[in-house]
Structure 1
C-alpha cells in the first residue's frame, strides 16, 4: 500500500484490514547524522506539529533504544487521548520502530528507515501500518480523516526535519573549523514559546543546553537565578559558549496598568543587567550573548521603511527596547559578542499573537484591526530558531538584527492571508475604540502601531529564510499545505 492508504496484505505483523501509509523525504546529511538527530533529546518536540499537539506524560528508558516506552497525551481538548508507545528495532543508522501498546488505534506500527544516498545525503522513509478501532464502522467513517491527518503531519515533519538538518549543517561548516562544535548553551526563558522550541532545536543538533530557572535547580541541566533580585552567580554561568536571554514578562498578556508596565520594563532591564554583569564577571565568559529585543524599538512610524540603522522611536515600547538593549552593556564591554534579535510577531499556533487570533478567524469572525493600514512585521517561529543559530555561527553578526520576514505586510493583508489559509472570510474589522475599552493604551502601541521593518542584516549576510512569504509560513504551522 502507498501513501493514499490501502489494505496491507501478506505482512505477518499486520492484522486483517490494516492500512499502510508511507512517505519519504531526501535529507541533506548522511544517514548517520539523520539517525542521530532522531536519537537526541528534543526530536519528539521538533517533530510534533503545533496544529496537532502531543504531550509526553512519562518516558521510561533511554532515547529510542529497544524497550523504551513513552506515555503520551495526544489531540486537542476536549478530545485528548492517552497513547503508550514502545520503541524497538533500534539499528543505527538504518532505522528504528515504534509501536502502540495501548491507545486510540486497534493497531499502530511506525517504521523509520534511513537509506544512504551519498556522503552527505540520505533518504528517510516513514512506513506506518494501522488499524482503526470498531471495525468495520471505525475505518468506514474515520478512514479518510486519519489519512488526511497523516498527510498533514508528515508534510510538517519532513519539512521541519530537512530544514533543521540543513540549518545545523550550515552552522557546523562555520563552527567546526574553529573548534566550536558542538556548542554549550545557556538559555533563559526556556519554558516560553520561543525558548522551548529553541532548546529542542539545539539539542537535536547535538548541542548541550542548560536552562536558567527561578526556583531551585532540580536537574543537572538547570541553573538557578533570581532576576528580580539581581542575583546571578558568575561561577554558575561560566564556561558556556553561548548565552541566549529570552526572559521577560509578556507584552500583550494582560491589560496595561502602571504596575503592569513597570513589570514589563523591569523584567527585561533588571534581568538583562544582572545576567550581563554576571557574564562579565564569570571566570570564562561566553563568546556570544543573544539578548532579545523587539521591533517595538522603532515605535509607530507609518509607512517609513526601517532597518537596523534607523533611530529609536518614541513611546513606552520604544523606551523599553532601548533600555533593554543597553542593559547588556556589561557583557559587551567585557568583550562578549552581543546580538540583539529585534523580534517581529512570532508565528505559531502554540501561543503568541497567532494563538490568540486563530479561534475568531476559524469561526469566520476575524478581520483587520481598524482599517488594517498599519504595517505588521512577522516571522515564522522556525526562522527565529534558524536565524539565531546563523547569528551565533557567523562572527560578523553583532548588535541589533531585525528578526522579521522579507515580506512586509499591513494588518489588512495579514488578515486576508490568514483567512484564505483557513478558508474563512476575514471581513469583520475590529473597532479600535472597543479594543481600548478592554485593553487600554496597549492597543495603540502594541496592536495598532505601524512598523515597516525590513531584515537588512539577515538578507545581506545570506541567511536563507524557510518562509519568506506569509502564506507559506501560515500553511506550514497550521498544517494547511
Structure 2
C-alpha cells in the first residue's frame, strides 16, 4: 500500500508517516526541500520515506507521484499561529490551503488509476467560535459551519477537493482540534510561563479547549483510511473537551507549577490583534461522535495522562 502525504513533514504529517510505515505502507512526501524534510521524520524512519521534489504548484509533477497511490492525504497549509494576522498573512493562510487542494484536483484529473481514498485536512474552526459549555450544544460533525476568518478558511479548504467525490474517490474530511504533542504545536506556547511560575488561563478561561494527542490524530487518520466504510467529515478531538481554565490547571499539575496568573483578553488583543479573538479567546467544544462510532479506540482520553505522556516521556 502506498500513501502520498502533502504536508507530510509537518507536525501531524511526521507522526502519520511514522505510523503508516510501522503498518507496512510505503510513504511518499512531495516537498520543496526534501533533505530538510527528512530530518523531521521520527527517528528510525527518516530513510524509509520517499521524499520527492515538488514546487507546490505543478499538477503534472504531482500526478507523477500520485500515480498508483492507494491513499492521498492533504495536510498542506501555512501555520495559522506563526505570525500576526495582517491581510497579507491571512491571504497566505488561505491560499496555502486552497491552492494546494485545487492543484491536487488537477493532478487527479490526469491519473490513469485513481486512489481509493483522499483525506482532506480541516479544523474544528469550521464551526466558528463559541462560549457554550460542553453538553447538548457541543459541536458535532452535523453542526453547521460558523462565521469568522478561520471558519471561512476551513470551508474553502474542504471545498477545494470536493470534486474528488465526483470522480468516485472516497473522501474523508478531518476536522482537527488542538493537537498536543512534543516539540511543536500549541502546547509549546503554554510551557514557558508555567516554567517560570507565571502560568494561567488565557482570557475568561471558560472558552472550549477541544484537544487531541498527536498519536491519536495520526491513529485516527490511519484508522479512517483503512476502514473502507468511512467517508465524510470526522472531528479529530478527544471525547473529553475541557475549558481553557481546566486545561491550564491540568498542565500546572503535570508540571508541578501553579496556574494562577490569567492573561486578560485586552492584553492578548493588543499583542495578537484579530488572531487573539478567534484563536485564543473563542473556543470550541467539539465531540468526535462519528469517529467513535467507527470503533476507533483512543489512546488518550484523560488530559492529564496525555500531558504526562508528552512532557515526561
TM > 0.5:
yes
Determine if contact 1:277/1:331 at 8 Å carries over to the other structure: no
Counterpart check, 1:479 vs 2:297: no
CA distance in 2, matches of 1:330, 1:277: 10
CA distance in 1, matches of 2:289, 2:303: 18
Which one is further off, 455-464 or 259-268?
455-464
- Structure 2 counterpart SS, 1:463: coil
Which of 260, 277, 290 lines up with 1:457 in the alignment? 290
- Structure 2 counterpart SS, 1:368: coil
Structural mapping, 1:7-26, within 5 Å: none
Which of 250, 259, 265 lines up with 1:417 in the alignment? 250
Displacement after TM superposition at 1:275 (Å)? 1.0
Determine if contact 1:312/1:322 at 8 Å carries over to the other structure: yes
Structural mapping, 1:303-452, within 5 Å: 303=132, 304-452=137-285
Determine if contact 2:4/2:65 at 8 Å carries over to the other structure: no
Q: 1:192 maps to which residue?
A: 10
Counterpart check, 1:241 vs 2:45: no
Mark the structure with the bigger radius of gyration. 1
- Number of residue pairs the alignment of both structures matches: 298
- Structure 2 counterpart SS, 1:338: strand
CA distance in 1, matches of 2:292, 2:301: 11
- Structure 1 counterpart SS, 2:63: coil
Which one is further off, 442-451 or 379-388?
442-451
**Superposed CA offset, 1:198-238 (max 9, x none):** 11121122211111112589999233333356665423311
Please list every run of 5 or more consecutive structure 2 residues that lacks an aligned counterpart in the other structure.
Answer: 39-46
Displacement after TM superposition at 1:191 (Å)? 1.5
Displacement after TM superposition at 1:419 (Å)? 0.5
Determine if contact 2:220/2:296 at 8 Å carries over to the other structure: yes
Determine if contact 2:208/2:244 at 8 Å carries over to the other structure: yes
CA distance in 2, matches of 1:432, 1:348: 26
Counterpart check, 1:266 vs 2:71: no
Determine if contact 2:59/2:106 at 8 Å carries over to the other structure: no
Between Structure 1 and Structure 2, which shows a larger proportion of helix residues? 2
**Superposed CA offset, 1:232-269 (max 9, x none):** 54233110011111110001111110000000000000
**Superposed CA offset, 1:62-96 (max 9, x none):** xxxxxxxxxxxxxxxxxxxxxxxxxxxxxxxxxxx
Determine if contact 1:232/1:274 at 8 Å carries over to the other structure: no
Q: 2:43 maps to which residue?
A: none
**Superposed CA offset, 1:325-358 (max 9, x none):** 0001222211111111101000013111101111
- Structure 2 counterpart SS, 1:249: coil
Structural mapping, 1:288-307, within 5 Å: 288-303=117-132, 304-307=137-140
Determine if contact 1:234/1:283 at 8 Å carries over to the other structure: no
Determine if contact 1:307/1:455 at 8 Å carries over to the other structure: yes
Determine if contact 2:237/2:286 at 8 Å carries over to the other structure: yes
Determine if contact 1:273/1:330 at 8 Å carries over to the other structure: no
**Superposed CA offset, 1:391-428 (max 9, x none):** 01111211110000000211011110110111100110
**Superposed CA offset, 1:432-474 (max 9, x none):** 2111122110001111112110000011121100001111111
Determine if contact 1:380/1:473 at 8 Å carries over to the other structure: yes
CA distance in 2, matches of 1:438, 1:231: 43
- Structure 1 counterpart SS, 2:172: strand
Q: Flag the 1:233–1:188 CA change in 2: closer, same or farther, 3 A.
A: closer
Which of 246, 250, 253 lines up with 2:79 in the alignment? 250
- Structure 2 counterpart SS, 1:415: helix
**Superposed CA offset, 1:6-31 (max 9, x none):** xxxxxxxxxxxxxxxxxxxxxxxxxx
Q: 1:208 maps to which residue?
A: 26
Q: Flag the 1:373–1:216 CA change in 2: closer, same or farther, 3 A.
A: closer
Which of 97, 107, 126 lines up with 1:278 in the alignment? 107
CA distance in 2, matches of 1:245, 1:224: 16
CA distance in 2, matches of 1:351, 1:280: 35
Determine if contact 2:204/2:265 at 8 Å carries over to the other structure: no
| Alignment root-mean-square deviation, CA | 1.8
The one of the two structures with greater contact order (alpha-carbon pairs below 8 A, sep at least 6) is 2
CA distance in 2, matches of 1:255, 1:243: 31
- Structure 1 counterpart SS, 2:208: coil
- Structure 1 counterpart SS, 2:252: helix
